[in-house]
Amino acid sequence: MDSKPNAKHGFKHKSKASKSAKTDAKSPATARSAESRTGEQRGKAGQTSLRQSSGGQGQAAGRGGSDNKRRTAGSKPAHPGRAAAPASADEVKVGDKLVVTIKRLGINGEGVGYYKRKAVFIDGALPDEVVKATVTAAEPKRLVARLTEIERQSPHRIAPPCPVYDTCGGCQLQHMAYEGQLLAKEEIVREAFTRYARIDRDALPLRPVLGMEAPWSYRNKAQLQAGPGPGGRLALGLYEPGSRRLVDITGCAVQHPGINAAAAKVRQLADRLGVPVGTGSRGGLRTIVLRVAPHSGELQLTLVAAAEQFDRSDELVRLVQEHIPEITSISVNINPGTSPLIFGERTELLWGKPALGVSLGELQFDLSPRAFFQLNPEQTVKLYESVKEAASLTGRETVVDAYCGTGTIGLWLAPFAKEVRGIEIIEEAIEDARRNAELNGRENASFYAGKAEELLPRWVKQGYRPDVIVVDPPRTGCDPALLQAIVKTKPKRMVYVSCNPSTLAKDCSYLLENGFELKWVQPVDMFPQTSHVECCTLLVRKDN
């Protein structure tokens, strides 16, 4: 069979796809990808070209799915050299080879198909593709398999433009055209509500995903790990997923260009000085964190160090001031621990402004080095506008912003409400939220440190009845005690912002069983090229 292996997912492709790869090699994305490959990656050029092919269907188009259905134990393999398929999904074992038709993307961006009604997760496969895959884990409820060959290719398959896409792990969907990504994300949300809230696919009031015009260069913050690179030079990048192998990143396609340029210069300066790197009490530079204010181009640099003072840090700070005028604030954060957490407890300003001034719509925020702020400002405005639409404020409502972070949603809504109360577990974020309220003259917004599941019930006991409750919990979803309090409180409207469709759907299921009605779900693509999807959901009381 004329097929070649692919780099990231290590799969092969049928000959027809290889032909289309040749055609596509003229595209700028392909040329960039091929040119920027080095060393080991360059040696895999053939593998890469296969992932660069787009459109068209392989010679075996339409065969894989029906093959699965046709095979039974003891029947002849459907293709010479193809192993007989296991009779039932429960008989499947590690090493078995399957042919699977991919139905959708999973929450982590893997292709999901079914083998005799059991879900098979195949990294790198796209919806509508027919693929061959080798089973790597056979679990009671699902199979995991490694993609070995694409028999029928998705029309959305494209060449990933990033040279380190194969190893970096930051993005999961660069091999899919953006239009396809948006459709797949819509499907991820639909699937979650069907599965966890038992809402019929066609009955779900799901709006199309709000995407970006230009889905690249959107990230306003980079956290780059420092480590020893080839030839004793400094490597700055991300760890390969599930490992401590550092992928040196010299330019990231989803990162703001100002950050890429500054990171390259910091690397050069640190290299020139021979700044030590590594963890432990005798260690040096661990991570550099760069944040940009897109409207002004100003940058904030935080050097995360393992020890109190790392060797050559004074000179590094002086050279950064001299050579990177866009950097207006330099701090050091001390993190002697060995956990994967980026920041330690103590941060000290070394030079410049203590905070970076950023704007979001009409609001201004002063961000200290560790303050949380949404990573995609353009899409954040769309998300917050959806929240505003859902809240439908007239100026007379009391609003709770639960899980408020630095208070951004509450401050966005405050001009249209009578009163906003934000709740957040991290005290430092609450201090930021209060400062931000002052900075923007939002006198009707107040912020409280504590657990949402404890504070809201306490307020309700005291007779407080908010008209609108907004929640924006972490990926794990809302605490059950908070959901119970919300049901008891009976707000007119509830706006649920979520970065995890599964927990969103599970929590909605509880709310729908307890007096709420689902009005609409608006997905927003906050992280193009990744499998993440954010949703803003409106629920109203049925008895309103």
Residues forming the active site: 499
- Are 22 and 122 contacting, i.e. CB atoms less than 8 angstroms apart? no
Torsion angle (degrees, nearest 10) of CA 537, 218, 340, 41: 120
The answer to whether residue 448 forms part of the interface with ligand SAM (CB under 6 A) is no
Q: Which residues are CB-neighbours of 420 under 8 A, at least 6 positions away?
A: 398, 399, 400, 401, 410, 411, 413, 414, 442, 444, 445, 446
Helix (H, G, I), strand (E, B) or coil at 188: helix
Task: Classify the C-alpha dihedral 422-428-434-435 as positive or negative.
Answer: negative
The answer to whether residue 472 forms part of the interface with ligand SAM (CB under 6 A) is yes
Q: Which of 206, 319, 423, 483 touches ligand SAM by CB under 6 A?
A: 423
Q: Least distance to ligand SAM from the beta carbon of 282, Å? A: 33
Q: Are strands 4-5 and 12-13 parallel, antiparallel or unpaired?
A: antiparallel
Given the complex with ligand SAM, which of 297 and 474 has the nearer CB atom?
Answer: 474
Stretch that binds ligand SAM, among 240-248, 256-264, 423-431, 535-543 (CB under 6 A): 423-431
Stretch that binds ligand SAM, among 50-58, 183-191, 218-226, 470-478 (CB under 6 A): 470-478
Given the complex with ligand SAM, which of 123 and 472 has the nearer CB atom?
Answer: 472
Structure token digits, residue 336: 């002697």
Binding mask 403-422 for ligand SAM (x = CB under 6 A): xxx--xx-------------
Q: Least distance to ligand SAM from the beta carbon of 404, Å? A: 5
Q: Which of 96, 129, 248, 424 touches ligand SAM by CB under 6 A?
A: 424
CA angle 10, 117, 66 (to 5 degrees): 70
Place of tokens 């499907």: 187
Q: Which of 112, 391, 452, 469 touches ligand SAM by CB under 6 A?
A: 452
472 labelled binding-site residue: yes
Binding mask 427-446 for ligand SAM (x = CB under 6 A): --x-----------------
The answer to whether residue 426 forms part of the interface with ligand SAM (CB under 6 A) is yes
Q: Least distance to ligand SAM from the beta carbon of 517, Å? A: 24
**How many other β-carbons are positioned within 10 Å of the β-carbon of residue 309?**
11
The answer to whether residue 374 forms part of the interface with ligand SAM (CB under 6 A) is yes
Q: Are strands 285-292 and 246-248 parallel, antiparallel or unpaired?
A: unpaired
How far is residue 184's CA from residue 171's CA, in Å, rounded to a whole number? 15
For 522-535, letters b (16+ CB in 10 Å) and e give bbbbbbbbbbbbbb
213 labelled binding-site residue: no
Contacts to ligand SAM from residues 474-533, by CB under 6 A: 474, 479
Structure token digits, residue 408: 């951004």
Q: Least distance to ligand SAM from the beta carbon of 430, Å? A: 10
The answer to whether residue 306 forms part of the interface with ligand SAM (CB under 6 A) is no
Which residue ranges make up the site for ligand SAM (CB under 6 A)?
372, 374, 403-405, 408-409, 423-426, 429, 451-453, 472-474, 479
